[in-house]
Amino acid sequence: MVEPTEPGETTEARARAVVEYDYLQTTPAIRARTNTVFEAARRGTLAHFRLNEGQLPAVAERVLAVTREVYPDLRAIPYHGRYRHFDVGGVARLARFQRSLEDFDVDNRLRACTELVITSVLLDAGAGAGWQYREPDGRSFSRSEGLAVASYHLFMSGALASDHSSSADGAGLLAFDAARLASAFQVTDDNPLVGVAGRAELLRKLGEVVLTTPAYFDSTRPRLGDLGVGLKRAAQDGKLPASAVLDAVLRALGPIWPGREKLAGKSLGDVWKHSRFGLVPFHKLSQWLSYSLFEPLEAAGITVTDIDELTGLPEYRNGGLFLDAGVLELVEPRQRELTHEVASELVIEWRALTVALLDRLADVVRERVGMSAVELPLARILEGGSWRAGRVIASELRDGGGPPLKIESDGTVF
């Protein structure tokens, strides 16, 4: 029996809330709600955007062009995962990390890789245009690649583990704070990073979850990487559907997300309320994290199946591609000059349209090259791909290659 938790709430209302909560944590819900927004755009009834679907084939050609520059063999495109960013600048950081695990058994290698991936992804939300990270040899990196390199060095330094090893356990994460993050990421008045406090709080809350959720994390020495080992053990005949990875990420890590909509007494995470469309789910960082866990799981002998159950990622590179290329057009052009909250209805519509358009872009790309969804899943088109094309067109249109819209982020969404 489901008990009421709010004054005046009936058992029936509570039960409906639980069902709705569970639904909003799924990719079918993401696609259903974002496609409702897309159909409104097709009818020309959105408040903030107009849709020009006729521009989509040209965007597909742009995506294919940048993909072939990096991956001439379209069948060899890797997943759109965090591993790609660690080796920026031609430095084999990931191989260095993996060599450090050679004496570990399969499960402990998976634990370590899971910990590197999760902490790096959670620190990955947009850096802002003014920040960069400088390595000891003088190389500097900005944006997502800079965050990847900075988070790699943070992890390798032992700052996330209670025993100061290259790992991440509950106690080490719980003790982490904004001052340590600012120091590790070289943040100064002249090198500002967006959302330092928000990022550090995510890791601290992550430590709380690891220490208090024995269903996912070992109670003897709770390590973040236990989540990866649990996924490995959940596989049937060595196979694990992509949706099971996302489900575990959402259920295990859901409590870390700050100040969001709640339902059935629980935070909904990356779900936002629109006055016309109701609650619209995205789960961008959780899906990016799920994509990023595919390679560690596969290295541990697991085949991840049904990859296209996950959706495209509604962040400013993918969304910027459609806006900069003319697939989307602002109803009020002056909105480009304003700064928008992540919870604003304009941003909700932009992100919803991005998810729906990425599915349609993938169909056009596959048709152009004569490949199926199995041969060229969305996870590879994103990597090839759409975010890269978004970065290229942004650089063509704006000094510094920033996004086409100004977003006020707390470091936990974009």
Residue 269 in 3-state DSSP?
coil
Q: Are 71 and 77 in contact (CB under 8 A)?
A: yes
Model pTM? 0.91
Q: What is the mean pLDDT of the chain?
A: 93
Q: Is the pLDDT of residue 59 over 50?
A: yes
* Rounded mean pLDDT, 266-295: 94
Task: Inform me whether the pLDDT recorded for 382 exceeds 60.
Answer: yes
293 or 220: which leads in pLDDT:
293
Cα Dmax for the chain: 63
Average pLDDT of the residues in 265-281: 94
pLDDT at residue number 2: 40
Rounded to whole angstroms, how far apart are CA atoms 125 and 148? Answer: 11
Say how far apart CA 125 and CA 304 lie, in whole Å.
Answer: 25
Mean pLDDT within 26-33: 97
Residues 6+ apart with CB under 8 A from 138: none
Mean pLDDT of 276-290: 95
- Check whether the bond before 385 is cis (ω within 30° of 0): yes
- The residue behind tokens 């400013």 is 316
Asked whether residue 7 carries a pLDDT value surpassing 60, the answer given is no
* Beta pairing, strands 406-408 & 140-142: unpaired
Half-sphere exposure in the Cβ direction for 161 (13 Å, CA): 19
Res 412 pLDDT > 80: no
pLDDT digits (tens, 9 = 90+) for 183-220: 999 999 999 998 888 889 989 999 999 999 999 998 78
pLDDT category, 3, cuts 50, 70, 90? very low
